[in-house]
A and B are shown apart, each in its own frame.
Chain A
Amino acid sequence: MTAESWARLSSDAFNVALFSYIAAMVTSFAYLAFRKERLHTVATVIGVVGLVANGVSIVTRGIAAGRTPWGNMYEYSSLITFLVVLGYLWLIEGRAKVRTIGGFVYGMAVLTMAMAVSFFYVGPTALMPALNSYWRQIHVTSMIVASSLLGIGCLLTIVYLIKAPAERRALERMRGSVPPPIMGGAGVETSDPSAPPDYAGGADEPVGSAATSRKISLPPSATLDALAYRFIRFGFPVWTFGVICGAIWAQQTWGRYWGWDPKETWSFITWVIFAGYLHARATAGWKGTRAAIVALVGFVSLLVTYYAVNLWIAGLHTYAT
């Protein structure tokens, strides 16, 4: 096959992935709304189809360009989408058995891919010599992996911020109406909204209930919080490592490891905010909603680092578009 036909295959697979993710998003939200178990199965199947198409698109793009397929914003976006959906299906649905936040994840995937086609599309071409270094490979790979992990973590934080107030309200209603039975006292004492009693082991479904008439809702906020923390705790060292590799590469290419170029500056800002988040998690009184807000600020900073710097702020990294 020629490079052109590989490139066409890559584009087609990209579109299949995009539309699959849209369908998976709609089905996942429908699952939340109508609480039909079958909808969840359908969403997962479509999501896997999208993931495979996404993977095919990345591999064929690499073949068409004759290099590793992470050389510009379009390719980064495609890879980040792949990793986010993979991380969701494998770690969140598979390992943690949390099944109700798929719509948010696919929504993020759709937005990332749509941004990629509308703002960053370029054909598969060779790279400029400045990009021709194995430190680039390590730097870009770790930044993409870190962005995906932090992205998932922040998505979970957003769902947490939706869920936590609802839980608090439910708890207040419970306290206000019937005098709480045996567990009521505990419910009043704790300021940290803990999982309702019918949930166990981090699962978002009541244990041992029948398949049909059970309540399907967002996972308990404690689960979301713990999951978000795990993803961010994993993403932060990878981000740190990626920034350091970038500095080593910059030292080789531009003759200075740090020059307050906008992309460098924003990667530092993002690093500081997530460092703040990890400290906040360890500080009494900052757990829960406050830490979540820090993570949310970190997410905004991540988006600025990833998008705004390339779109609006001139700097050395603009050639990555």
Chain B
Amino acid sequence: MRTAIILLLMLAAAAVVGSLIPQIPNSPQRVAAYQIDHPVWGRFFQAAGFFDVFGSWWFALITTLLFVSLIACLIPRSRAMIRAARARPIHARELDAFPSFAERAVALEPEAAAAGAAAALRRKRYRVELDARGGSVAAEKGALREIGSLAFHWAFLLLLIAVIIGKGTGYVGHATIVEGYGWTDARFNYDGDLRTGRFFGGGFSGTQIQLQDFQDDFQTSGIPMDFRSELTLSGPDGASEQADVRINHPVVFNGIRIFQFGFGWAPMVQIHRGDRVLFDGPVVLGQTTPPGGNPLAQPWQGFVKLPTLRPQVAVAIRLYPDAAAYFRSLATGVAQPMTEANAPFMEYEVWQGKLLDNSLASLDTRFMHRTASGLIGKGWTVDATRGCVISGTSGAIPASLANVTCPDGGGPAALTMAFPDLRQYTTLQISHDVTVPWVLAAAILIVLGLLPALYVSRRKVWVRARPDGMGSVLQVGGFALQRKDRFDEEFASLVEAVTSAAGGAPSRASLEVSP
């Protein structure tokens, strides 16, 4: 057991390292930043696996050794427990040598007195061994302590195994789905942070998820109250169901668990060159919030990249979902949360040149130059080469800010951009973990085993009756292995019970006979 404790403490020490050094699975950006800031330490930590402590070989090694040590310790202990459960309590002599001892004269003869005492101890839920002829009783109680302790330790082992199997054969990732669109559970549809277990065979469920509607509720102060994704789920076998996924209310379907994870805005954007459609679909926007800023008061950003054009073109957009709230915060200087779509508009910048990457989350403009910029409201169409409005009414946007209307309605070769609709997207966390019920069962067993292991005490009690005149003299001895301070009281009540079961104090006549 000592080895197991040392290994457990080593596991804890490893966990300390894991909590102090940024971890790749939890915060890859911070790891990258750390490696840039501290190149020497960064290289050392990288080599030592300190950036992914919980996935490192030495963490696995400690865990394996812990297994071995626990099993090596638990098997003999379990055997001993079974042996002890089969064995009967052993009789004792010299009862007056035990820490607790009492002697009482009783009315019944030794044989009957011992039987009575045994019955009394049984009523107190002791395991009792009676040798009536010898007038001897051996009793013990509190085997639950060892049973509980073993249950706790086996359950801990089961927990570790279940966790390793579950995480090892499972996967977890994030799916972004725009309202009205669908998503299929397959490797390349995940957002890029898909994590698969070490023993994962590659079998994704193929479940199709269609987002019918996304609902969010906020208080007026901007504190989020509820998020709900209304989904249609269909399995590859054709089974289909409607389900609402809310925060704290995941849905299990076809072996995967679906959780509400995030949300955001996705404007529908159409880009044309003349009659040619260059882009038509939702643009999933993200946010970068300055430290301490209210994310709901920030604009949403994203990019449309058109790599097939020569020169290549990228459109950077910043969405303000609630124009009224935005202009109110400009006027008052107090950031207003933009939680509802209310006359949404976007700032756009058109860049031309060479695209350096296909990421939809960032734009590298080192080989590009800006050709136009302007505003586009919902329902507008703009000329993206000149930055002027072809059609659309300014609505909630002050006329002074909305760009001038194009003089000629846009030439045929111009790049036009339209913003017909604003939708929301939901980010769902998809996970597959088959051992969750096992982990839960093990956890429950841990608590159930822990309580008797800490609170039950093992107690042993012996009674001997020897003839004394008409009745007998009872000797009661015993001790507790744990919680000794509590035993005195219990022992007194046991002596009481045993005495009265053995006929109680003898009558005066018999007392006079006794020497």
Residues from chain A with a CB closer than 8 A to the CB of B454 are 233, 236-237, 278
The reply to whether the CB of A5 lies closer than 8 angstroms to some CB of chain B is: no
> Is B429 in contact with A255, judged by CB distance below 8 angstroms?
yes
The reply to whether the CB of B223 lies closer than 8 angstroms to some CB of chain A is: yes
> Is B26 in contact with A125, judged by CB distance below 8 angstroms?
no
Checking B8, B439, B446 against A272 with a beta-carbon cut-off of 8 angstroms, the contacting residue is B8
Please tell me which stretch of B16-24, B232-240, B296-304, B334-342 contacts chain A, meaning at least 4 of its Cβ atoms lie within 8 angstroms of it.
Answer: B16-24
The reply to whether the CB of A49 lies closer than 8 angstroms to some CB of chain B is: no
> Is B447 in contact with A240, judged by CB distance below 8 angstroms?
yes
* Total interface residues in chain B, CB < 8 Å: 52
Residues from chain A with a CB closer than 8 A to the CB of B249 are 252
Checking B25, B247, B431 against A129 with a beta-carbon cut-off of 8 angstroms, the contacting residue is B247
Checking A247, A253, A269 against B443 with a beta-carbon cut-off of 8 angstroms, the contacting residue is A247
* Total interface residues in chain A, CB < 8 Å: 44
The reply to whether the CB of A29 lies closer than 8 angstroms to some CB of chain B is: no
> Is A269 in contact with B225, judged by CB distance below 8 angstroms?
no
The reply to whether the CB of B1 lies closer than 8 angstroms to some CB of chain A is: yes
Query: CA separation between A315 and B25, bound complex, in Å?
Result: 12
> Is B248 in contact with A133, judged by CB distance below 8 angstroms?
yes
Residues from chain B with a CB closer than 8 A to the CB of A130 are 247-248
The reply to whether the CB of A68 lies closer than 8 angstroms to some CB of chain B is: no
> Is B259 in contact with A255, judged by CB distance below 8 angstroms?
yes
Residues from chain B with a CB closer than 8 A to the CB of A104 are none
Query: Provided the pairs A130-B248, A257-B439 are in contact, do residues A269 and B15 lie with their beta carbons within 8 angstroms?
Result: yes
Residues from chain A with a CB closer than 8 A to the CB of B429 are 254-255
Checking B26, B259, B430, B450 against A237 with a beta-carbon cut-off of 8 angstroms, the contacting residue is B450
Checking B53, B172, B248 against A253 with a beta-carbon cut-off of 8 angstroms, the contacting residue is B248
> Is A276 in contact with B8, judged by CB distance below 8 angstroms?
yes
Residues from chain A with a CB closer than 8 A to the CB of B16 are 265, 269
Residues from chain A with a CB closer than 8 A to the CB of B443 are 244, 247
Query: CA separation between A265 and B485, bound complex, in Å?
Result: 37
> Is B257 in contact with A253, judged by CB distance below 8 angstroms?
no
> Is A260 in contact with B18, judged by CB distance below 8 angstroms?
yes
* Residues A91-146 near B (CB distance < 8 A): 125-126, 128-130, 132-133
Query: Provided the pairs A241-B447, A251-B436, A269-B16 are in contact, do residues A256 and B172 lie with their beta carbons within 8 angstroms?
Result: yes
Query: Provided the pairs A244-B447, A254-B429 are in contact, do residues A265 and B19 lie with their beta carbons within 8 angstroms?
Result: yes
**Interface of A toward B, CB cutoff 8 Å:** 125-126, 128-130, 132-133, 226, 233, 236-237, 240-241, 244, 247-249, 251-262, 265-266, 268-269, 272-273, 275-276, 278-279, 283, 309, 313-315
Q: A128-B223, A257-B436, A279-B2 are in contact. List 8 more A-B contacts (CB 8 A).
A: A233-B455, A237-B451, A237-B454, A253-B248, A260-B54, A265-B19, A269-B15, A275-B5
Considering the complex of A and B, which 8 residue pairs feature the smallest CB-CB distances, nearest first?
Answer: A255-B259, A272-B12, A129-B247, A255-B429, A265-B19, A133-B248, A244-B443, A269-B12
5 A/B residue pairs, CB under 8 Å, sorted by A: A129-B247, A252-B259, A273-B12, A275-B5, A309-B19
